[in-house]
Chain A
Amino acid sequence: MSSADQPYIDPSEIALEGLAAERFKNRSDAFWSGMRDAAGAPAMVLFAGMVGFGAMGRTNGIDGWFITLSSILMFALPGQVVLMEMAVTGSSVLAIALAVTLTSTRFVTMTVTLFPQLHEKDRNRNLYASVHLLAMTAWAVSMKEFSSIEVKHRLSYFVGLGLLCWLISVPGTILGYFLAGLVSASVTLGLVFINPLFFLLTFTEVKPWINRIAICLGCFLAPIFTILDRDTSLLTTGVIAGTIAYYIDRKWLRKRAGFIG
């Protein structure tokens, strides 16, 4: 792969100078700095989302172990909410696994854009463990910060960042689960509403037209398909609305069609 093929994901080839090159003294410094950077507003929003998820699980009568394990082992909030929503409404195991996997395909894109920026030495089998810490928050912060971090310190920074995000998710979920049982119904309402509201608000920040069309079509088709057949509506609406948006983009919005690979 030459940098000419993918100029936008190979900043590791750009020579760093002065301050940027010596931002961290060593790997441990980079790791703890990542942890500190994680303790800001993005992680607070993630924490609130996990609290909301825990509260949602409690009010739906889902087992506490089930929702906590999903935060530890999945660590992907949209997928977790899909899992819970479909489990509560009684969808089949196959439909749930398929729907959750489809929402997780964004991790492929995220990994493909982030990991080539790591040092060649760090790009080994251990990444199959580190990749579990990759979620939207850590990805967005890393994409922004990597360009000003020396290549050999990037993995440590990412692990520090991702690890804290992952570690706060678990107590967040448990807290939400227990809070929903303790506080009044009105506060629980607020907690349960955090995630749908969060997803809705992030839609206003989506820039590519293909994804905007997909969101609008999804919102429009969702009530129709939900009334027709609730069990499969998430899958059918997603695939139909996404495919229509893709074709609109390909036929009219783009000047020339690309190709796979």
Chain B
Amino acid sequence: MMNASLQGWGLWFALAGACLGTYVCRAIGVLLSGRINQDSEIFRWLAAITYAMVATLTVRLILFPVGLMESVPPWIRILICVLSIGVMVSKPTKRLVPALLTGTLLLVGYGIIR
């Protein structure tokens, strides 16, 4: 799998591009602050794209991982995700930390038993 990854200068150009793109978004925010309505159409559209991209990224990391996570059977990964979400939504109050711990410790537990 590693021979498919970016090597040498390509990797650093990608980092430079990513840093630049991220900072430019922050700077545009400063430039526009106080001049543009946060509820405008373009923001709604960009927010939807962001959420869809993060959802895609999450699905890829869980279902199509590269490296170490590949050694865990997909059904185990999915089961742990379902259990963690169960902990998260089990109470109306915020349960992010317990849910995050549940998932992480379950996977560590699986790794030890294996």
Please name all residues of chain A whose beta carbon is closer than 8 Å to the beta carbon of B57 when the two chains form the complex: 78, 81-82, 85, 199, 234
CB of A173 closer than 8 Å to a CB of B = no
Flag if A74 contacts B54 (CB, 8 Å).
Answer: no
Q: Chain B 14-37, CB within 8 Å of chain A: the 1/0 string?
A: 110111111111111110111111
Q: Is the contact region of chain B dominated by helix, strand, or loop, or is it mixed?
A: helix
Flag if A211 contacts B5 (CB, 8 Å).
Answer: no
Flag if B55 contacts A109 (CB, 8 Å).
Answer: no
Q: Chain A 89-105, CB within 8 Å of chain B: the 1/0 string?
A: 11101101111111111
Q: Chain A 24-68, CB within 8 Å of chain B: the 1/0 string?
A: 000000000000000001001100100000001001111100100
Task: Please measure, in the bound complex, the distance between the C-alpha atom of A239 and the C-alpha atom of B55, giving whole angstroms.
Answer: 12
Most B CB within 10 A of own CB, among A63, A98, A203, A235: A203
CB of A222 closer than 8 Å to a CB of B = yes
Identify which of residues 63-98 in chain B touch chain A, using a CB-to-CB cut-off of 8 Å: 63-64, 66-69, 72, 80-81, 84-85, 88-89, 94, 96-97
Across the interface, A101 reaches (CB within 8 A) one of B24, B39, B45, namely B24
Flag if B5 contacts A74 (CB, 8 Å).
Answer: no
Pick the interface stretch among A15-23, A151-159, A179-187: A179-187
Q: Chain A: interface residue count, which band?
A: 35 or more
Please name all residues of chain B whose beta carbon is closer than 8 Å to the beta carbon of A219 when the two chains form the complex: 55-56, 58-59
Across the interface, B17 reaches (CB within 8 A) one of A45, A93, A223, namely A93
Please name all residues of chain B whose beta carbon is closer than 8 Å to the beta carbon of A242 when the two chains form the complex: 45-46, 48-53
Flag if A201 contacts B96 (CB, 8 Å).
Answer: yes
Please name all residues of chain B whose beta carbon is closer than 8 Å to the beta carbon of A260 when the two chains form the complex: 40-42
Task: Please measure, in the bound complex, the distance between the C-alpha atom of A106 and the C-alpha atom of B45, giving whole angstroms.
Answer: 11
Given A76-B22, A203-B55, A242-B45, residue A186 in contact with residue B62 (CB < 8 A): no
Identify which of residues 66-123 in chain A touch chain B, using a CB-to-CB cut-off of 8 Å: 66, 69-70, 73-76, 78-83, 85-91, 93-94, 96-116, 123
Interchain Cβ contacts under 8 Å between A and B, 10 examples: A1-B34, A1-B35, A63-B11, A66-B12, A70-B19, A100-B21, A107-B29, A112-B36, A186-B107, A246-B45
User: Chain A: residues with CB nearer than 8 A to chain B?
Assistant: 1, 5-6, 9, 41, 44-45, 48, 56, 59-63, 66, 69-70, 73-76, 78-83, 85-91, 93-94, 96-116, 123, 127-128, 131-132, 134, 184-206, 210-211, 213-219, 221-223, 225-226, 230, 233-235, 237-243, 245-246, 249-250, 258-261
